[in-house]
């Protein structure tokens, strides 16, 4: 009985961890452009951005407003943790091809 209660209690306590699995979003770099170039994410939530670089050349994901900079090698995938953020528009660029590689994250 006591172990059962403990078990039930731990399930209740741990369940938010299971439910609150970090949402993941995918961003593809192709021909030095981000696709999609706009991603909407929920406010005050931690999310994971999976950046798949389909180009053969490396790219540096950079965003001053997000406080992120990360090099993603050619044909490599990089994970970028984002947030929790307050609502707003956060722009990012691919520093190595800034004229074409632009995008933004909209936090709602």
Partner 1 sequence: MFGTAIIVFREVLEAALIVGLVLAATRDVAGRLRWVSVGIGSGIVGAILLALLADKVSTLADGMGQELLNATILSFAVAMLSWHLLWMRKHAMEISDKMKRVGAAVSSGDREPVILAIIIGLAILREGSEAVIFLYGIAAAGTNSTELFLGGAAGVLAGIAAGTVLYLGIARIPVGRLFQVSGWLIMLLTAGMASQAASYLVQADLIPALGYAVWDTSSLLSQNSIPGHVLHILVGYVDHPMGIQLLTYTLTIALLGAAIYFLNQQRDRVVS
Could you say which residues in the range 45-84 bind partner 1, by CB under 8 A?
46, 56-58, 60, 64-74, 76, 78-81
> E-assigned strands of 9-46?
24-30, 33-35, 38-41
CB of 59 to partner 1, least distance (A): 8
Query: Applying CB under 8 A, does 44 fall inside the site for partner 1?
Result: no
Residues 6+ positions from 13 with CB-CB distance below 8 Å: none
# of chain residues touching partner 1 (CB under 8 A) = 26
Q: Which is nearer to partner 1, 5 or 86 (CB)?
A: 86
Q: How would you classify the pairing of strands 38-41 and 102-107?
A: parallel
User: How far from 97 is each of 8, 24, 39, CA to CA, in Å?
Assistant: 53, 25, 20
The residue ranges that bind partner 1 (CB under 8 A) are 46, 56-58, 60, 64-74, 76, 78-81, 85-86, 95-96, 99
């Amino acid at each position: 009985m006591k172990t059962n209660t403990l078990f039930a209690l731990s399930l209740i306590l741990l369940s938010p961890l299971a439910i609150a699995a970090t949402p993941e979003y995918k961003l593809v770099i192709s021909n030095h452009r981000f696709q999609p170039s706009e991603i909407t994410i929920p406010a005050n939530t931690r999310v994971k951005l999976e950046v798949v670089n389909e180009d053969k050349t490396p790219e540096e994901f950079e965003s001053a407003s997000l406080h992120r900079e990360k090099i993603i090698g050619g044909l490599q995938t990089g994970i970028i943790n984002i947030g929790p953020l307050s609502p707003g528009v956060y722009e990012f660029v691919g520093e190595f091809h800034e004229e074409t590689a632009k995008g933004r994250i909209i936090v709602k």
